Amino acid sequence: MDASKDSRTNEVRLVFDSLSENESFARMVIAAFIMDMDPTMDELADVKTAVSEAVTNCVIHGYNGGAGKIYMNCRREGDSVTVEIIDYGAGIEDIEKAMEPLYTTRPELERSGMGFAFMEAFMDSLSVESTPGKGTRIVMEKTLGREDAYTQAL
Ligand SMILES: Nc1ncnc2c1ncn2[C@@H]1O[C@H](COP(=O)(O)OP(=O)(O)OP(=O)(O)O)[C@@H](O)[C@H]1O
Ligand SMILES: [Mg+2]
């Protein structure tokens, strides 16, 4: 692989309305963003799912189905992709509890409480900052094509 390609940086910033149809839009954006990083099918699916879970949380919990703006910032540094997703909605009272698998504050909506668990499982790192009444910011990072890099290093 071309070494200059590996060290490339790129950034895309996006603002969209809090609408459920924009969940699939966000998935397509991140897929397009990482496409030239040569992700495996699994990596592509992982990143799309993580982004989709984060955006769904903004729509359902952050803005409670109402109006609001969602900010999605995508950054590539070499073979690492970082996605930041921000809402200025309800915020989270107890982040530690919210991140526990199967914990949901909306069981009546048939949420399973697995969104954060998926984000953690599918990405290399996840950080959540939130202030009740102000909003939530999540940042997640994943290094792509590691298997490939490992093989080449042998
Ligand atoms: N952007 C957000 N704004 C406010 N609260 C949030 C936000 N994201 C998550 N939460 C809170 O954290 C809890 C856990 O989120 P998580 O995504 O793990 O589960 P869920 O959304 O309830 O269910 P699922 O994702 O499985 O449909 C939510 O029930 C909600 O209380
Ligand atoms: Mg969720």
Return the C-alpha torsion angle 99, 100, 101, 105, nearest 10.
-70
With a 6 Å cutoff on the Cβ, whether 71 touches ligand 1 is: no
Neighbours of ion ligand 2 (CB under 5 A): 57, 115
Taking the CA of residue 75 as centre, how many other CA atoms within 13 Å lie in the half-sphere pointing to its CB? 9
* Mutation test residue for ligand 1: of 23, 51, 52, 57, the one with most atoms within 8 Å of CB: 57
Supply the DSSP symbol for 145.
Answer: -
CA of 104 to the centre of ligand 1 (A): 6
Report the pLDDT value the prediction gives residue 111, as an integer from 0 to 100. 87
Report the pLDDT value the prediction gives residue 146, as an integer from 0 to 100. 67
pLDDT of residue 6 exceeding 90: no
Give whole-number Cα distances, 34 to 47, 74, 109, 125, 139, in Å. Answer: 9, 9, 32, 17, 16
Residue range 24-71, pLDDT digits in tens: 999 999 999 999 999 999 999 999 999 999 999 999 999 999 999 999
With a 6 Å cutoff on the Cβ, whether 18 touches ligand 1 is: no
pLDDT of residue 152 exceeding 70: no
CA gap 59, 90 in Å, rounded: 11
With a 6 Å cutoff on the Cβ, whether 22 touches ligand 1 is: no
Report the pLDDT value the prediction gives residue 108, as an integer from 0 to 100. 87
Residue range 93-132, pLDDT digits in tens: 999 999 999 999 998 888 899 999 999 999 999 999 999 9
- pTM value? 0.92
Residue range 59-73, pLDDT digits in tens: 999 999 999 999 999
Active site residues: 53, 57, 111
With a 6 Å cutoff on the Cβ, whether 61 touches ligand 1 is: yes
Instruction: Tell me the percentage of the chain whose pLDDT exceeds 90.
Output: 84
Residue 143 near residue 79, CB atoms below 8 Å: yes
